[in-house]
Amino acid sequence: MRYSQLTERQLVASYTDGNHKAFEELLNRVQSKVFGKIQMVVRDYELAQDLFQDTICKAIQALKDGQYNEEGKFGAWMMRIAHNLCIDHFRNAKKMQFVRGNDDYNPLDYVSDKAKNVEQLVAKREVSKEVRQLIALLPAEQKEIVMMRIVYDMSFKEIADQLNISINTALGRMRYALINLRKYMEKYQVKLVL
């Protein structure tokens, strides 16, 4: 069987029927593009290799579970998996707290002595909830930019690279998102007081 002449749909069907060579052909078609995209986003060769391996594992598992949607192309589907794993990586890295590696480590250094009172914590939680609700109202492109910038703390350069758009486009979408958020705040009478 000449795998190079088969369509992606035929290769997926062949793989789900147990033919592992079909997946190798699918992977050969997209691996350089997917790996390149991951490496461009994370800017670390070894980390990119790890995320690429995770992408392959997720794709294999999804194919085995019958979760592959044939409406799109296999390469675009793999790119979406890789994109999501990169986002997860940045989200998890942001959550990790780095600890000094010497004997001067004191856990109390990381505890704030300016503890907020309960009223302040409740107010902050309520504001956060309202802001999330307002962000959910944004158009998809603007919501994606806001989430990447604020939640994942990505630079506009990283966002532009990740979404394959220019920095000016990313900045423009953020600008319009902020304008829309202000309109929503007025419309729903939301006041952000911290």
Q: What is the mean pLDDT of the chain?
A: 81
What fold is seen in the domain 113-187?
Arc Repressor Mutant, subunit A (1.10.10)
pLDDT at residue 99, as a whole number: 47
pLDDT in tens, 40-50: 888 888 999 99
Q: Mean pLDDT across the stretch 99-104?
A: 50
What pTM does this model have? 0.51
HSE, CB side, 13 Å, CA atoms: give it for residue 180.
19
Is residue 33 pLDDT above 70, yes or no? yes
DSSP string, 62-113: HHHTT---TTS-HHHHHHHHHHHHHHHHHHHHHHPPP---STT--GGGGS-S
Q: Mean pLDDT across the stretch 15-24?
A: 89
How far apart CA 31 and CA 52 sit, in angstroms, is 9
**Residue 56 — very low, low, confident or very high, per pLDDT cuts 50/70/90?**
very high
Q: What is the CATH number of domain 3-95?
A: 1.10.1740.10
Per-residue DSSP letter, 155: -
Each domain of the chain, given as residue ranges in start order, spans 3-95, 113-187
Contact between 7 and 75 under an 8 Å Cβ cutoff? The reply is no
Is residue 55 pLDDT above 60, yes or no? yes
